[in-house]
Each structure stands twice: as C-alpha cells, then as structure tokens.
Amino acid sequence: MWIPLRVLAARVRGFLRPGDQEHEFDQELATHLAMAEEDKIRQGMTAQEARRQARVELGGLTQLREASRAARGLPWLGTLGLDVKLGFRMLRKSWGLTLIGGLAMSVAIGIGAVVFAFFDIGYSGTLPLDEGDRVVALQTWDERAHDGQPNSLLDFEHWRDAMRSVEDVGAVRTIERNLIVGDGLANPVPIAEITASGFDLARVAPFLGRPLTEEDEQPAAPPVAVIGYDVWQSRFAADPAILGRTIRFGATVHTVVGVMPQGFAFPVNHRFWIPLQTKPPNRLENERAFDLVFARLVPGATMESAQAELMALGLVPRETASDDEQLHPRVMPYAFAVFDDEPGQFRWMSRLVLFLVSLLLVPPCANIAILIHARTVTRQEEFAARFVLGASRSRIVVQIFVEVLVLAAVAAVVALGFVRLAIRQLKRDNPDVPFWIDFSLSFETVLFTAGLAVLAAMIAGAVPALRATGREMQSGLSSLGSGTGLRLGATWTALVVAQVAFSAAALPSAVEMAWGTVRTSVLGPGFASEEYLTARIAMDQEASVGAVADGTVAESMAADGEQLPIGSRFGNLQLELVRQLEAEPGVSSVTVAAAVPGDEPWATVEVEGDPIQDASIFAGNSMVQFNQIDDAYLDVFDVPLLLGRRFDARDHESERATIIVSRTFAELLIGDGNPLGHRVRYGWRDSDVAEALAASPSDPSASEAEASPSAVTPSATSPAEEVEAHTWYEIVGVVADLPANATHGKIYHPMVPGRVQSASLALRTGPTPDNLVDPLREIATKLDPTLILEDILPLNEIYRDHAVGNNMGATVLGLVTLCVLLLSGAGLYALMSFTVNQRRREIGIRSALGAPPQRLLAETFRRALGQVLAGALVGILVAFLVGHYFPIRFIGGWNVPGVVPAAAVFMILVGLLATAEPARRGLRVDPIEELRQG
C-alpha cells in the first residue's frame, strides 16, 4: 500500500479508538521512566535524583502526550469540527445573510441538481436483466439526420441468420389496439408484437403459463397473447384460470397463454405481448417496420467486435430505396438505441449542459461573496487578534471557507428537497417510462449536489477569505479597537450599482414573462371549457381487416374481402361517429379537428409582402398555432366570424388553399389593413405538422407525409428549400380568438374527413361532460373495434394540466426574481451599514458640535442613495434598449403598461427599506461614547 495511505489508515484507527492507544502510550512512558530510574540508581544516584533526571531526559510528559495524540489521530478533524460549529453559530447570528444567501444558493444549486437528476434518470443505461449490460440493439442509423430509423424485415433476418457475435436476435414493433375483455368497452393499449427470442433474451420465466414460442410465429398458428402481472391483476381480477381465456385486440381474438411476473416490461414498457409474424402472407419486406432489433452479445464478444461484424454484413439493398447510402447499421447499447441517442454525443451534451448549469451558481454566489466580504470586514478585529495569537493565514482562510460551506451545505440539503419534489413530479407525469428507468434520488445526484455546494462555497467564500486575511490584515491590526476597519472598495460600490440596475432592468422582463406564462390560466379560456368532452380518435393499423361505417362489426367486412384505404375508412367512421354522437341525449353538438383549441401545433409563418415590417423572428409574432377544423368547429365553440366567410364546400376542392385566421393573427401580422386576400406561408413547423396538415389539399409536404408517415426527415432538405416549397395560403376569413386572451395568432385549415389518420373529437355536453364518457366508448366500440379512442377528458382538465406546468415555470421564475431582489436589497443594506459604521466617529463629533442628526445622516446617505438612483436609471435605460433593439415578445416589460417605471420605483423602495435599519443606528450614535472611544 502507498505509504501516505498506510499512515492515513493508521491515523483513522487511532482516531476511532483514541483511548486504547493513549493508555498504551502512557504505559510505555511509565516503563521507560522506571527503567531509566533503575539504571541511574545503579549508577549511584539517589532515588529522588534518579527520578528527576529520568523525567528531564524524557521531556515534558504533557507535551509528549499531546504530540503523540496529534501524530496518531486526525487532529485537523477536531479543528474542522470547531469550524463547523462556529459556522452554524454564524448562520444563527447573521440570520439575514443565512436566509437570503441560503435561499439564493438553494435555488441555484437546486436548478443544477434537478437538471443532473433528470439526466441521471433519463440515461440510466443498464437494463435490470440478467447480464443486462450485454443486451444491445442493432440499429439502422441515418448518418445525415443523426437519427435511428426503423429496421426492415430483410435486414433483421439477414443479421439474425448471419451474425456470430450476438445471440437471441429478435425484433419488436409497438402497435396500438383496442383491448376488449369480455363484453367490456374498448380501451386502447400499446402492444409489443415481438419475436419469441425476446423472452429468451430477457431470461425471465413467466409467472404463469409460457412465454411466446417460435411456433406462435407461424402464419397458421392460432393468435395467442402473453399479459403482464398488473394487467392480470386489474383486468382479470387475478383469475387463477386465466390461461386459455380469450382477450380481444381490435378485431382479433387472442388466447392468453402466459402471465409475466410483476415488473417485467421488456422491451420498453409493455404489458401485452403477441407474436410477430414474419412469414408470408404478412411479410413487410421492404417496409422499415420494426422499432427495435435487439440481441445479446455472446460470451467473449464485445460491442466493437459485433459492430465490425455488422458493418461487414451491412444493410440488404432495397429496390425502392433512395436514401440507403446515408443509412448504416450499428450496434448500440440497448437503452441508447431506444432513445435514438449517440452515447458520445450525449456525454458531450450532458457535460456542456451541466457546465452551463454550474455557471448559474456564479451570479448568486458572487452576490453572497459580497455579503460575506462585508461580514468579514466587520470581523476584521477578530481575525487580526487570532493572527496575533499565532493562527496561520491558511487557518483563518479555512475557517471562513468552512463557515460559507456550512451555509452552502444547508442550501444543498434544501436543494435536494427540491430535487425530490421534482423527481416525484416527473414520475407522476411519466407513468409509462422504460422499465429500466429508476426514479430514485441516486447517489450520483447527491454527490453532484454536494459538489455544487463546495463550488458555491468556493465562489462565495474563497475571495472574501483571501481578501480578509491578505495585506489588509495589517491595517486591521493597527486599527484594533478604534472602531474603523477596512474600506469597502469602489469595485464593491460599483457592484451594488450594477446590481440595482440589473434588478431594475430584469424585473419588468420577469414580471412580463411570468404573466405571459400564467395569463391563460389566470384569465381562463374565455368560454365554458367545462362543457366540452374531448377525445383523440385514430385507426389502428391492422391492415388485414376492413371496416364499415354502417355499424356492422368489422369481421363481416373482412369476410367480404373488401379493402378500403385506411384514410377513407377513417373518414367514413369519423362522419358516422359524429352522426351517432349528435343523436345521443346530452350532446348538443360535435366537431372534429386536428387538435383541441389551445393545444394546436406551432409554426412560424410569413405574410406575403410583409405588411408589418418589424414582424421579425425576434418579435416572436410570426410564431403561430395551426389547426384543421371541420365545418361545425366554429359554431360548436361559439367563435364569431369577424370578417370574410367560413369554410364551405369550395374549400374542400384540391386546388384551393384557403385559411381562416384569428383576430390576434390579423393584428400582429397584418396590422390595420384588411387581412382578407393576404397570403401566408409556413417557415418552420412543429414535427407534428406532417400529420396535422396531411389533409391540406394542395400542400406538397402533405402527400409525402401520407406516403410514409414514419419517415419524416426534416433535415433532408434545408430550411430555406422547405420554405420555398411551401404553399401560399389565402386568408378568406377572420374569427375571434379561441381561447380568448390568446397571445399568438392562429391559422385554421379546412379539414377533409379521411385525409388525416388521427383527430380530436369535441362534444358539447353541458355542465356534466363526464356522463358522456361511457356512451362515447360504447358507440365507438360498437361502430368499429379498431377505432381507437384516447385521452377522453373534459376540455377544462386539459387546460388545468397546462396550467400546472405553466405555474411551475412561473414559480421557478418568481423564486429566481425574488433571489435577485433579496440579494440586491441585502447588498444595499450591507453598504449602508458599513457607511454608517465607518462614519460613527465623525457623526459623533459633529453632532457634539451641534449639527442636527438628520442633516448628518442625509449627508452620509447621499452617496448611497445616489447610487440607488443611478442604478435605477441605468436599469430603465437598459430595459429601454433591450425593448428597442431586441423586441422579443414577453421580454423587456414594455408590453405591460407601467411595469418598467414601477420596477425602478420598487428598486428605490427596496433600497430605502434596506437603509432603514442602518439609518436608525446612525441616528442613535451617542457623541460622548464615540468621542470617549476615539
């Protein structure tokens, strides 16, 4: 063992059992003295003389014991303990600094720790399976898009048969089907269509029955299913005779052959498994249909050797492939492949993000450093005295550092509380995460938080500590007892001015941003959202079954052999569903749109001729939401038409590209002129765009999207080319905002039933939308078991969910703003206190000579108040410049009338409040006392 380590180990032992070793040491010294005495008596000394001489030669017993104790134990730990105790005492004593500094540090450390915890949770990469670290994914990687692509059947079969470095090669795709148990209602569930090898790979035995086998994959095999433990418990009441019972997924009836044990959710978060039929007639040879191809490295193989083998095999060339040259196969750790990540990129990214997050510590800690500096300045005499009594400089530096570290540690504990809350919220928001994700506060997160605390203590404590013990210590020494110590330098004053200026400039932005975030939840949607029931409707992709719109069950149509394109089937179903729902008691009207109001996808747009010149990307005006609506939509939501016309049959013709826009759209992007006839086209659009706009008759990207809905690669063309390719849409009508109080414009396209593959249904029901949930499910199940109905929720609940997220954002923003304000106030307080302390004698003398105290104070405070005013003015100027040159919406505060001057006045008030206590102290200066001290 390395010698310092041996010594440390021995010292730790000595520290843990000090009694034994001290006793032995005493015994040893006693033996020494006895032996020495005997020797000396033998040499002719008297017993008394021998004892005295022996003691002299050995040296002072107390010092020896002290020195041996120091040599055997961990003496610095004792000193550290004292420093920590002192640190806690300082927390109590300077409670203002503790509260303000602690809060600011908690928020900064908390933000960093939450980001780390989320990374840590999101990328916990090892599967909790037997040898889970050897499970890999064989992926088709798009080099250009840096994205994983679904794998093709041919590739899967080729790799499975040819590769030697992996075993248990399997494939899976997740499908969504309506689950129907007995005569119950349909309930859409995700199902893993998986090869039997998935169960071999997982090495988990079923709880009941058997897993899927290769025989189940044969085309003629009867349909079977394996279910999860939770499903068995909840849907089948833990029926012991579950094996052999039937379960219906959409139109197909499966026999349950196995129940997997609790917690099993391979490949991602699945509870239902059915065989993946890879043989004819269901072969999908050229289609890239599999979400994942997985395998296990054979003993002795490595990721690199498997990668080399896979590269050598390559992808099977396809007849219709145009993008093959940018596709390469690669072997990836399983969890990374599920997230389509590159481990290297992630490592780099996470480091960058964590670095940036750590930088968040700097502003609050620099502020706290100022306050700590002010405190150490007032303790200058204490340090000077300790210095004189023999404490080294490093000793005092460590002491100050430990005091700040105690504060940071308390802040870190509070921050970990934030992290726990955030993790709990994350878990609540994501019930269906991959099975290997562990929502617990990991050791790494705690370690990272501790690291942030040490970093915070270093920033906030190191500079004040070094300055307090530096050259200026001597001046502290010379002025011992005189009541005046160090000066707070000009830098410090400048920092306070800058702080006030920053606060005055940032406060309006914060107010505006917070308002922008919460305004919809505060003002409400402006219509009776609680009277609407909404649901997502979609078709499952079960290709083998036809469907009808006349209410007969799907299997009969399948028997007829008639195959309708899925789009028109969906269109027919949609119309029929609306017809039947309208006839339902309690439903006053029904509409179908691509999205519910307020939940539409986002895009940027450009208006032809650009009537508003400053509608730049900075302004954010060009950010709009877009939707596709049926002809009933505006009536169902009581949206009045303000100008032009509604959609009618003309707009369904394929050569027309017409839109209706909202009032806010017209105001922000067109201005005072008549919006009708203006033409608009899209720039960047949300990734949902392909689906949401698939129905737009003449949009060229729509047909492409419909052809291959899973292969939307935005990077295939440059953004500029995309903009050029987009259609110009003509505005034919202007309607009121929905929801009211909208901050962004909105575009409505006409919806042609059957051109979209999923849509949102909204039923106007009156005050009790919940009563319609079951009738809605019943009608849909009867109409077609493959019609998937999801997210059946009253509209106001969707808004409530939005509000929760918004309010959380506003809370964090509010906390940060509060910290900035408190730190500014505390900085001013420290400055004022210091000024008063420095001038106590002067105030005393002048007051003894008859000057009225108020005038003295006014003079003392003129400088400080001047700084506050200067700071506030600079703040307004900065806010003005920001508002003028970077007209970003929701930033700058100019959109909220009066908030900028209000913020400046507020900062002046904070300044005055912060000076109140020092002012009171200044007025109480007793001239006689001050003169006597001088």
Partner 1 sequence: MQETRSPILQGTLDLMVLKTLEQMGPLHGYGIARRIEQVGQNALIVNQGTIYLCLVRLVQKQWITAEWGKSDNNRKAKFYSLTPAGEAQLAAETENWERISDVIGRVLQPATGS
Residues binding partner 1 (CB under 8 A): 1, 3, 6-7, 10-11, 24-25, 27-29, 31-32, 34-36, 38-39, 57-60, 63-64, 67-68, 71-72
Q: Which CB atom, from 62 or from 478, has the smaller least distance to partner 1?
A: 62
Least distance to partner 1 from the beta carbon of 60, Å?
A: 8
Task: In whole angstroms, give the CA distance from residue 749 to residue 732.
Answer: 11
Residue 10's identity, in one-letter code, is A
Distance in Å, CB of 1 to partner 1, minimum: 8
* Cβ–Cβ < 8 Å for 166, 298: yes
Q: In the bound complex, what is the minimum distance in angstroms from residue 398's beta carbon to partner 1?
A: 24
Region of residue 291 (left: phi > 0; alpha: psi -120 to 50; beta: else): alpha
Local structure of 532: helix, strand or coil: strand
CA 641 – CA 933 distance, rounded (Å): 83
Q: Decide whether 28 or 562 has the Cβ nearer to partner 1.
A: 28
Whole-angstrom distance, CA of residue 409 vs CA of residue 451: 10
Count other Cβ atoms within 10 Å, centred on residue 297: 19
Least separation in angstroms between residue 59's CB and partner 1 is 3
- In the complex with partner 1, which residue's Cβ is closer, 3 or 707? 3
Phi, psi of 759 (to 5 degrees): -150, 170
Which CB, 15 or 346, lies closer to partner 1?
15
- Strand ranges (E), 220-357: 224-227, 246-249, 252-259, 272-275, 288-290, 292-297, 327-333
Query: Alpha carbon 575 to chain centroid distance?
Result: 41
**Least gap, CB of 25 to partner 1 (angstroms):** 7
Taking the least distance from each CB to partner 1, the nearer of 59 and 719 is 59
Minimum distance from CB of 76 to partner 1 (Å)?
16
Please say which residue, 7 or 447, places its beta carbon nearer to partner 1: 7
* Strand (E) or helix (H) holding 188: strand 187-194
Residue 319, classified by CB atoms within 10 Å of its CB into exposed (0-12), middle (13-18) or buried (19+), is: exposed
- What are 840's two structure tokens? 């106590």
Region of 476 please: left (phi>0), alpha (psi -120 to 50) or beta. alpha
Q: Which is nearer to partner 1, 33 or 189 (CB)?
A: 33
Q: How far apart are CA 760 and CA 683, in angstroms?
A: 25
Residue 6 Cβ, how far from partner 1 at the closest point, in Å?
Answer: 5
In sequence order, the β-bridge partners of residue 762 are 534, 591
Give me the helix-helix angle, 795-838 and 899-923, nearest 10°.
40
Find the shortest distance in angstroms from Cβ 21 to partner 1.
Answer: 9
Phi-psi region of 733 (alpha: psi -120 to 50; beta: other; left: phi over 0): beta
List helix spans (H) across 94-228.
95-122, 153-162, 197-202
Between 67 and 205, name the residue whose CB sits nearer to partner 1: 67
Residue 362: DSSP 8-state: H
CA atoms within 13 Å, Cβ hemisphere of 850: 0
Please give the structure tokens belonging to residue 885: 């040159």
Cα three-residue angle 114-115-116, rounded to 5 degrees: 90
Query: What is the C-alpha to C-alpha distance for residues 139 and 149, in angstroms, rounded to an integer?
Result: 7
CB of 39 to partner 1, least distance (A): 8
Q: Whose Cβ is closer to partner 1: residue 49's or residue 57's?
A: 57
Q: Which is nearer to partner 1, 9 or 480 (CB)?
A: 9
User: Shortest distance, CB of residue 57 to partner 1, whole angstroms?
Assistant: 5
Residue 138: φ, ψ to 5°: -100, 115
Which is closer to partner 1, CB of 20 or CB of 610? 20
Residue with Cβ nearer partner 1 (45 or 711) = 45
Between 8 and 804, name the residue whose CB sits nearer to partner 1: 8
Helix (H) or strand (E) holding 826: helix 795-838
Long-range pairs of 885-892 with CB within 8 A, sequence gap ≥ 24: 886/618, 887/614, 887/616, 887/618, 887/619, 888/618, 888/619, 888/620, 889/516, 889/619, 889/620, 889/621, 889/743, 890/512, 890/513, 890/516, 890/620, 890/743, 891/509, 891/512, 891/513, 892/508, 892/509, 892/512
- At 568, list the tokens: 């028109």
Q: Which is nearer to partner 1, 27 or 552 (CB)?
A: 27
Query: Which residue, 24 or 721, has its beta carbon nearer to partner 1?
Result: 24
What is the closest distance, in whole angstroms, from the C-beta atom of residue 804 to partner 1 in the complex?
60
- Cβ 34 to partner 1, closest distance in Å? 6
Q: Contact at 8 Å (CB) between 909 and 503?
A: no
Q: Give the nearest distance from C-beta 48 to partner 1 in angstroms.
A: 19
Q: DSSP for 381-421, please give it.
A: HHHHHHHHTT--HHHHHHHHHHHHHHHHHHHHHHHHHHHHH
Comparing CB distances to partner 1, the nearer of 21 and 213 is: 21
190 close to 174: Cβ distance less than 8 angstroms: yes
Q: In the numeric block, which tokens belong to residue 607?
A: 């208006």
Ramachandran quadrant class, 792 (left: phi over 0; alpha: psi -120 to 50; beta: rest):
beta
CB of 72 or CB of 726, closer to partner 1: 72
What is the spatial distance between Cα 436 and Cα 331, in angstroms, rounded to a whole number? 19
Cβ at position 80, least distance to partner 1 in Å: 21
35 or 913: CB nearest partner 1: 35
Helix (H) and strand (E) counts in the chain: 32, 24
Give me the least distance between CB of 7 and partner 1, in Å please. 5
